Structure 1
Amino acid sequence: MNGAQSLVATLVDQGVDICFANPGTSEMHFLAALENPKMRSVLCLFEGVATGAADGWYRMKDTPASTLLHLGPGLANGLANIHNARRASSGMVNIIGEHSAAHLKYDPPLMSDIEGLARPLSHWVRRAESSSTIAWDAATAVAKASGHPGQIATLILPGDTSWQQAGTSAIPPRAAATRKAPDAARIEHVARVLRSGERTLIILGNKATRGVALERAGKVAAATGARLGSQFFSARIERGAGRVPIERIPYAVPLAQAFLKDFRHIVTVETSEPVAFFAYPDRPSLLKAEGTLVHPLVEADEDSALAFEMLLDMLGASATRPTLQPRVETPVPSGALNPLSIAHALAAALPENAIVVDESLTTGRETMGHTMGAAPHDLINNMGGSIGYATPVATGVALACPDRRVFCMVGDGSAMYTIQSLWTQAREGLNITTVIFANNSYAILKAEYANMGAGAPGERALSMIDIDRPRIDWLAMAQSMGVPAVAVETAEDFYRALADSAREPGPRLIEVRLY
């Protein structure tokens, strides 16, 4: 068994059984080792697709995937979606190929400071120095990535470490991922805040927005009158009919300030207090009202489900029933396409247990408020703000949950960053409906131009925001990568295309023409 084979075998033994790969010459022995029948390998045509797909896999599985990236430039190509994954607390094991140690002294063209590229966005970085220790290195990487919150682990794999014989080596025992218990004094303090009767918002983040933690948060809200909220972007929320509803803090600073102004207390759970996405002239960075007090209930590495159990005990409210979202049957819309009719079409068309990956920065900003009463579904947002995340994340989500329909909502500007995802979706036969909102511009930047106080954009500025010369042919783009596609120009046609896509296996693309 050579080093690469030892590495892959260890990944599998430690529970990492999928690799999103874009290999190069220095990774050929690792590529050969992927013949291991227990490891699924998925080819991605751009490294940003590989890292984004690994992020999507973690968000649904709560276990890390691996990626295979080619040297420093390959890692650099994947860094934007590693940034998004880090901000979403997703675990990931990145295997970065490297030249053999003897070759590095000649300064070959692809030589770079891989550690220097990796460290700012990785929680753990190691260069595998020997084939005999690669199994230990791999097991350590998986352990780091599997913790709570999830972490980015980067393992650099020199060519000679791959091809030399590994022999027999020990590995650290596989440890179950655990979460820290929250501080009891902190729980008691928040209980006093909630008993005060003063207006309180509990902001949920990371794993508190789903499962047992969300149900218990709903009990706390029902027992105390506190409201439940989330940041505008969340890693994953379980929502829809029968789930505990969470209010979304608006993105725009004035709207967020208006939403938050009457709260005396903000309680944070696996997240921080609300902060503006950007700095704007004459607008604050912190969005709470003056005098509002912030109380952390659960830190990022703690167990929110346990915290709410402790809190309910202190409040004497363990038997309280949470308020659940009722089902709202949304009529099929008709007429022109606009943010409201688009939201209504999605609400009406979502099948039960769907997963929505949202990067519709402008057009879909109203969508989430109008899908609260839709069939139960999961919502995934971009936590890091680096665009080009949606189609790769949807790819990983669909591989993690092959029996669920995934709806990927993305603007045309964002989609062009990682459109290669469609090819992987077709190759793997993934159940993804990609919705391209084609307004032929970076519409979000037109709004931000005004928000920044830069005035009205001139002709040259507009030329850097509009993407209509030439206009992108989305149908041809999709079909060239093996994905059936349709264009819609009315709300009823959009609903019909969404519903039809959910009934057919495999990927589909819908171009929503907004002109």
Structure 2
Amino acid sequence: MPNGAQILIEGLVGAGVRACFANPGTSEMHFVAALEDASALRPVLCLFEGVATGAADGYGRMTGRPACTLLHLGPGLAGGLANLHNARRAATPLVNVVGDHALRHKRLDAPLESDIEALAGTVSGWTRRTYHAAELAGDVAEAVAAATGPPGRIATLVVPADVSWSDAGDPPAATPPRPARRGLVSVDAVTGAADALRSGESAAVLLGGEAVRGAGLAAAARIAAATGAELLCETFPARAERGAGRPVVERLAYLPAAARRRLAGVRHLVLAGATSPVAFFAYPGQDGDLLPEGCRVHTLAAGAEDVTAALAGLAEVLGPGSPVPEEAARPALPSGDLTAETAAAVIGALLPEGAVVVDEANTSGLWLPGATAGAPPHDWLTLTGGAMGQGLPLAVGAAVACPERPVLALVGDGASMYTVQALWTQAREGLDVTTVVFDNRSYAILNLELGAVGAVAEGARARRLLDLSGPSLDFVALARGMGVPAERADTAEEFAALLKRGLAEPGPFLIDCVVPSLV
């Protein structure tokens, strides 16, 4: 007779879940034991919960299907919240399985007792606690359905330890939940967008979600060609298809001043899977709304609405257009000093076709979009929610999801230290991930923000909080200590040679890319 843990795993596998990123504890031991006979569910051990949740995010972005996490009680879930926040902003389908104390033990207020549902509610679109093993089959089915319903979201299932170890008896057959349907876009939304784009006034289409890949992107390119509208995409898309032969789309800049300059003069902004652009933070004397005065916003599709169908319908209404694809072009390999700019040129010159690029380069990534625009077709994954430490785990999940594709993780030195444990998982699983750490020995983005908010910190005491030297981090030693081969690059030639090596050899490889800070 199966116990609750076995039913839980059978339910996940039956619903199509194929990867479990785990950091388990005592309450989850029956789940761990049941994995022995679950060959269809790949267990991946992560040494920190933030790695597990970030990896599940990367897997979901690349497959469109949920992975599950296995987390230990409330503190374990709390450890993964930052990357669950990013996954929520990316609309990634993801199922959290969180073990809890046995029901009879909760009344004792043991040291690890906490309000798991309250923590889960900050990032989850669906949360449930199972009280009987016989209910697990139905609860698992509903959790996966909730995660995969449009738009993708996080479902958290809390499973007490005694529910995992108890026999289920004869559990009722789980009735598969009816799949959620994408909302239909109204005719008024399509005609309103068409009228705006035909107005003769300056117009732009801001793309997000599925609109920056596949059929949605192709339809958007037809719209731009038919009307002359500019194609922009949100600053941090979950997954964007780009490169030679694909439609030309410009990402909206992170810095408010640059974004405002780009949007200046736009009289009509059509939103397709994106929200109206706002600044990440408030700044003294500035409005957080980035739209120019007098700009009218037209929402074509948002939330659970089918943005791909909406764009296709709008393209039909507007008539034929001949998009001009991105031309194939690569920078020449630079020589001499290694800087953020020359490093971007090396990446653009060597990026292989079909690569999955995970971008958490922050300030050092300033030149990356331009240097890689004409590279062979590839996917670009970004820091959707702004919570640092996403890059390395996201690369783990992408590599598990797409073992046939090279994964290139571009991360800042400060950001990488939030979840550096992901390197160990790369080594254990033999994942084909080449990691580039932009090593400028600084929280450069915070030095930039220090001036942007008008704070005065001219002395060494305050600046010390933004400095990563004294001692400097040794990324080669850190990587090798976790089983990942690593080398240091101090010149553009050295970086090019190491990047060629990392992309050519199977398995993980890390390059400590030493560059000066831009700030």
* TM interval, short-chain normalised: over 0.9
Query: Which residue does 1:80 correspond to in 2?
Result: 82
Structure 1 residue 161: deviation in Å? 0.4
Equivalent residue number for residue 436 of structure 2: 435
Instruction: Sort the Cα spacing of 1:177 and 1:432 in 2 relative to 1 into closer, same or farther, 3 A.
Output: farther
- Residue among 274, 279, 293 paired with 1:276: 279
Instruction: Give secondary structure in 1 for the equivalent of 2:469.
Output: coil
**Partner amino acid, structure 2, of 1:247:** E
Residue 17 of structure 2 corresponds to: 16
Ranges of 4+ aligned residues in structure 1 off by more than 3 Å: 174-178
1:221 to 213, 220, 224: 224
Query: Shift of residue 309 of structure 1?
Result: 1.8
Counterpart secondary structure, 2:122: helix
Please state if 1:170 is matched with 2:173.
yes
SS at match of 1:409: strand
SS in 1 for 2:409: strand
Q: Which amino acid is the alignment partner of residue 154 of structure 1?
A: T
Counterpart of 2:158, as a letter, is: I
Q: 1:230-276 deviations in whole A, cap 9, x for unaligned? A: 12211110000011111111111111111100111111111111110
- Equivalences for residues 272-311 of structure 1 within 5 A: 272-311=275-314
Alignment of 1:355-370 (within 5 A): 355-370=356-371
CA contact (8 A) 1:388 1:415 kept: yes
State the alpha-carbon separation in 1 of the partners of residues 263 and 151 from structure 2: 27
Give the superposition deviation at 1:174.
5.6
Q: Give the deviation of 1:176 after TM superposition.
A: 4.9
Aligned to 2:471: 470
8 Å Cα contact 1:346/1:371 also seen in 2:
yes
Question: For residue 187 of structure 2, what is the amino acid of its counterpart?
Answer: A
Q: CA deviation at 1:177?
A: 5.8
Matches of residues 141-220 of structure 1 in structure 2 within 5 Å?
Answer: 141-166=143-168, 167-173=170-176, 175-176=178-179, 178-220=181-223
Match of 2:91 in 1: 89
User: Which of 298, 313, 316 is the equivalent residue of 1:313?
Assistant: 316
Q: TM-score, normalised by structure 2?
A: 0.97
Contact 1:229/1:249, CA 8 A, preserved across alignment: yes
2:500 alignment counterpart: 499
- CA offsets per residue over residues 380-422 of structure 1, 9 Å max, x none? 0011111000000010000000011111011110000100000
Partner SS state of residue 356, structure 1: strand
Q: Return the alpha-carbon distance in structure 2 between the equivalents of residues 184 and 376 of structure 1.
A: 34
- The one-letter code sitting in structure 1 at the alignment partner of 2:501 is D
Within a 5 Å distance, the mapping from 1:257-272 to structure 2 comes to 257-272=260-275
| Secondary structure of the structure 1 residue equivalent to 2:437 | strand
Query: Where does the alignment leave 5 or more consecutive residues of structure 2 unmatched?
Result: none
Greater shift in the superposed pair: 173-182 or 464-473: 173-182
Please list the CA deviations of residues 277-310 of structure 1 after superposition, one character each: whole Å capped at 9, or x if unmatched: 1101112201111001111011121112211221
Computed over aligned residues only, the root mean square deviation of the Cα atoms, in angstroms, reads: 1.1
- Contact 1:219/1:323 (<8 A) preserved: no
Normalised by the length of structure 1, the TM-score is 0.98
Residue in 2 that maps onto 1:100: 102
Q: Is the 8 A contact 2:273 2:303 kept in 1?
A: yes
2:211 is aligned with what amino acid?
A: A
User: What secondary structure is seen at the aligned counterpart in 2 of 1:34?
Assistant: helix
Q: C-alpha offsets along residues 144-184 of structure 1, whole Å, 9 cap, x if unaligned?
A: 00111111100001011001111332212265564222111
Residue in structure 2 matching 1:71, options 64, 70, 73: 73
Aligned partners of 1:177 and 1:115: how far apart in 2? Answer: 23
Which residue is equivalent to 2:510?
A: 509
Letter matched to residue 136 of structure 1: G
Partner residue in 1 for 2:336: 335
- Percent sequence identity is 50
Whole-Å separation in 2 of the counterparts to 1:232 and 1:455: 28
Q: How many residues align?
A: 513
SS of 2:466's equivalent in the other structure is: coil
Aligned counterparts of 2:318 and 2:27: Cα–Cα separation in 1: 59
